[in-house]
Structure 1
């Protein structure tokens, strides 16, 4: 049942993004920023945590999940280190994912021949 919920929650997040692109003609970078920001805001309001408990990876892998990770890291560090944690918590919580994205992006650029679009 966990797989079904992950599929449903992740699918709904993707559906929202697709609707924003197709019907409202919002550019993809704006949607990406909106998703990360909404993940942070929904986490701060306590709304995204129940979604993560139900959807699992379906809620944590898409971009709102990155915002969720940022917010959780900041909240944890602020509770431990005070105001300084607001500046370091998000980076510390998401460093592994950011490192993996940079590393595998670089690896793919070595394996394949990247070309700029005209």
Structure 2
């Protein structure tokens, strides 16, 4: 059942974002920022954890999950370092995922021939 919940929740998130992209004039970058901020806000008010327990990877993999990860890092940073944790906590929490995206993106650019859009 975990796989089914992850599949339909992740698919629903993607479908809603696709509708948002098609029905509004928002640029994709702004929609991505909106998703990360929404995940952070849902995490701050305590709604994201139960949602993630229900949906599993369907909730943790999209950009909503990245916002949740950043917020959890900020909370841990503030608990351990005080005010300075506000600035370092999110970086520590999101560093592995960001580094992996950069490294694998670079490897993919070496394997395939990237081209500029015309």
When the two structures are superposed, what TM-score results if normalisation uses the length of structure 1? Answer: 0.95
CA distance in 2 between counterparts of 1:13 and 1:63 reads 10
**How far apart are residue 11 of structure 1 and its match?**
1.3
**How far apart are residue 24 of structure 1 and its match?**
2.3
**How far apart are residue 117 of structure 1 and its match?**
1.0
**How far apart are residue 8 of structure 1 and its match?**
1.7
CA distance in 2 between counterparts of 1:25 and 1:54 reads 32
Residue correspondences, number: 118
CA distance in 1 between counterparts of 2:85 and 2:29 reads 28
CA distance in 2 between counterparts of 1:79 and 1:36 reads 22
Unaligned runs of 5+ residues in structure 2 are none
Matches within 5 A, 1:22-61: 22-61=22-61
Structure 2 match to 1:107: 107
When the two structures are superposed, what TM-score results if normalisation uses the length of structure 2? Answer: 0.95
Structure 1 match to 2:91: 91
**How far apart are residue 26 of structure 1 and its match?**
2.5
**How far apart are residue 82 of structure 1 and its match?**
0.7
Q: Deviations over 1:77-97 (max 9, x none)?
A: 111111111111111111110
